Amino acid sequence: MKIDSATSLYAVIGHPVGHSLSPVMHNFLFQKHKINAVYLAFDIYPNDLRSFFHTMRFLPIVGCNITLPHKTNALRYLDKVDKTAQDISAVNTVVNKNGKLIGYNTDIYGIQMVLNTLKVDISKTTFLVLGAGGASRAVLYCLAKNNACRIYLANRTYSRALNLKNLITRSFPKLEIRTSPLNESYLKNIASEVDCIINATSLGIKAQDPSPIPYEFLRRRHKIFDLTYNPDGSALIRFSHKKGCRAIDGLPMLVWQGLKAFNIWTNIEPEFSFVYRKLKTELK
């Protein structure tokens, strides 16, 4: 594809952002569908976020994705935000429509698709969610929206888990969320009570990271969703496979949420497996 004056610009912003696979995915899709566009990664410091969105209105930046640490702060600089993004106070996709910036959250869709792949019946499942950051916020919203049976929420800083519980239950007052510090004694006590374990901590991004839950606490019947991904597989994913658990890492979620963003921008619905294989190859 030849880059010229008609080329549209898309981007992912974050800090840091160099590890993002989004440029690989979206440039691949633009080429495949013969769209005259390029997708870049911009490392935007938190203090420069307002300036970026001001610039986005006047440059041919048609859309952008948002990753850590900007998903919440970006809301204040947009003209309109869809209900899902409003409910969880986090946006990861923006469309520029004639200078008006509209925000969406496609992470919820990505999480839902992974749980479907794991064959998790959310309304009949008891969950253990590890972590209380932005990723956990999206996970809890997805589970709440689908009437999760019960959720155990564990985080190293207990106050953050409690704050997140309060945020979610404001919109879903009937949802049962039990909070606790993230420690081995707690995990040992509830491991036998849960059906699905979701790691929404950062443990697993680096190959040398330990598993957020010890090997001996895993049960063969557990279904595991680890939002992190790396070429060698996280310790949690490796432990899960040894135990015979059905387990999925965060790469499929990245693809699903990215495809949803691409659809918002272009009205095109690309095939999941084609893009997933591309990113899997890129990781290796």
Catalytic positions, written as ranges: 71
Alpha carbon distance 244, 218 (integer Å): 10
Query: What residues does 151 pair with on adjacent strands?
Result: 127, 177
Q: Which residues, at least 6 apart from 16, have a Cβ–Cβ distance to it below 8 Å?
A: 43
What is the CB neighbour count within 10 angstroms for residue 264? 16
SS (H, E, C) 97-151: ECCEEEEECCHHHHHHHHHHHCCCCHHHCEEEEECCCHHHHHHHHHHHHCCCCEE
Output the six-digit token pair for 13.
Answer: 């912003």
Place of tokens 């899960």: 240
DSSP state of 282: H
Alpha carbon distance 62, 103 (integer Å): 12
Please say whether the beta carbons of 256 and 113 come within 8 A: yes
Strands 126-130 and 93-97: unpaired
Alpha carbon distance 100, 1 (integer Å): 28
Output the six-digit token pair for 36.
Answer: 């005259």
Task: Kindly give the residue spans of alpha helices, DSSP state H, lying in the chain.
Answer: 22-32, 49-58, 83-88, 107-117, 134-145, 158-171, 184-190, 235-243, 251-266, 272-283
